[in-house]
Amino acid sequence: MAEAAESPGDPATASPRPLMRDLKAVGKKFTHVLYPRKSNTLLRDWDLWGPLILCVTLALMLQRGSADSEKDGGPQFAEVFVIIWFGAVTITLNSKLLGGNISFFQSLCVLGYCILPLTVAMLVCRLVLLAELGPINFMVRLLVVTVMFAWSIVASTAFLADSQPPNRKALAVYPVFLFYFVISWMILTFTP
């Protein structure tokens, strides 16, 4: 007697394909941020996995390593996490109030993925800080953070600029500039 064919929805035959599909989608969005060009892929297929990973990574790297981190004046994990998500939500609401034709979650997706250059800047700064502190160390960190700050701005405006009415683009881009500036400042002023 021939065995019945297994149905595709059978949990016993389920494979990790959805996980790989999601990881490939996140990787593709990282590529779009690394090579910013006008594309609707990041907007059309939005997700919040990449922004969550980047936000958690950045918050962990910005957190002080000492046990007495309440006393050293450095940001805590929750503070960084809240600043990033509150800033992204504020910019999204501003975009919607200015008449933008982008959804709430699409904007959060773009703003979150565009933190990738700043996360790379934080990683480079942590590595540079392993050397002695001094003026050259600070200049290297300033250069890296400035370049990555500009990269974040260019990447996010490449995706968000077309979603705004032409006469309100500056009003939509200015808060994005401030958002990434605050994150860049936290990275630049970080010392272990």
pLDDT, one tens digit per residue, over 55-90 is 999 988 888 654 444 555 556 788 888 888 899 889
Q: How many helices (H) and strands (E) does the chain have?
A: 8, 0
What local confidence, expressed as pLDDT, does residue 6 receive? 46
Q: What's the predicted TM-score (pTM) here?
A: 0.80
Average pLDDT over residues 151-156: 91
Element (H, E) at 1: none
| Beta carbons of 142 and 190 less than 8 angstroms apart | no
Q: What is the pLDDT of residues 26-45, one digit of tens each?
A: 788 787 787 776 666 666 77
Whether the pLDDT of residue 102 is over 60: the answer is: yes
What is d(CA 186, CA 96) in angstroms, rounded to the nearest whole number? 27
> pLDDT at residue 116 above 90?
yes
Q: CA 50 to CA 36: how far, in whole Å?
A: 16
DSSP 156: H
**pLDDT for 182:** 94
Q: Do 156 and 116 contact (CB within 8 A), yes or no?
A: no
Q: Is residue 43 within a helix (H) or strand (E), and if so which, with residue range? A: helix 41-44
Residue with tokens 């002695």: 132
pLDDT (0 to 100) of residue 180:
95
- The more confidently predicted of residues 145 and 3 is 145
